[in-house]
């Protein structure tokens, strides 16, 4: 009688294990709180763009640190690719969200109040999407 090799069984077991792993991370209260609190901070700093960029260096530096901390936290959560990509879009200075807004403010020195309000709407919606994704995740 020929002995069966364990490879098909092992392959089936590995397939089962990987198929059961989540495609997205679980809900994280800290990540949700960080996102919603950071949105408020960002909206306040965006309002300052009616003033000269150079007069708000301290606030901008503090904001960048907060954004980088939130992003860094998200990077180290397992199965969190979608959220990470959303944060990358938000931060990207070549896009029309927070990163692009801050770059434009720096280049133009001051921004038009109408532009500020329109940009706040877009950036706010981006934060809302990140928060909605987090709040919609499976809770433990």
pLDDT mean over 76-82: 94
Predicted pLDDT at 77: 96
21-25, 33-37, 105-109: segment of lowest average pLDDT: 21-25
| Per-residue confidence band for 11, with pLDDT thresholds at 50, 70 and 90 | low
pLDDT at 24 over 90: no
The Cα–Cα gap between 24 and 78 comes to 8
Locus of tokens 């990207």 = 92
Quick check: 26 and 41 in contact, CB under 8 A? no
pLDDT at 74 over 60: yes
Structure tokens at 105: 């403010």
Give the CA angle between residues 116, 102, 53 to the nearest 5°: 85
0.95 surpassed by pTM = no
| Per-residue confidence band for 140, with pLDDT thresholds at 50, 70 and 90 | confident
pLDDT mean over 2-17: 60
**Between 81-91 and 113-135, two packed helices, what is the crossing angle to 10 degrees?**
170
| Per-residue confidence band for 67, with pLDDT thresholds at 50, 70 and 90 | very high
Quick check: 133 and 83 in contact, CB under 8 A? yes
pLDDT at 28 over 70: yes
């Amino acid at each position: 009688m020929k002995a069966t090799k364990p490879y098909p069984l092992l392959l089936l077991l590995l397939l089962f294990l990987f198929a059961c792993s989540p495609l997205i991370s679980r809900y994280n209260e800290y990540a949700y709180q960080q996102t919603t609190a950071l949105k408020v901070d960002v909206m306040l700093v965006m309002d300052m763009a009616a003033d000269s960029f150079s007069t708000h260096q301290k606030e901008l530096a503090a904001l960048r640190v907060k954004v980088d901390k939130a992003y860094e936290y998200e990077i180290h959560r397992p199965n969190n690719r979608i959220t990470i990509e959303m944060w990358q879009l938000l931060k990207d200075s070549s896009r029309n969200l927070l990163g692009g807004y801050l770059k434009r403010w720096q280049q133009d020195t001051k921004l038009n109040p109408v532009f500020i309000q329109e940009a706040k709407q877009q950036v706010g919606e981006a934060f809302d999407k990140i928060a909605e994704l987090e709040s919609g995740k499976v809770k433990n």
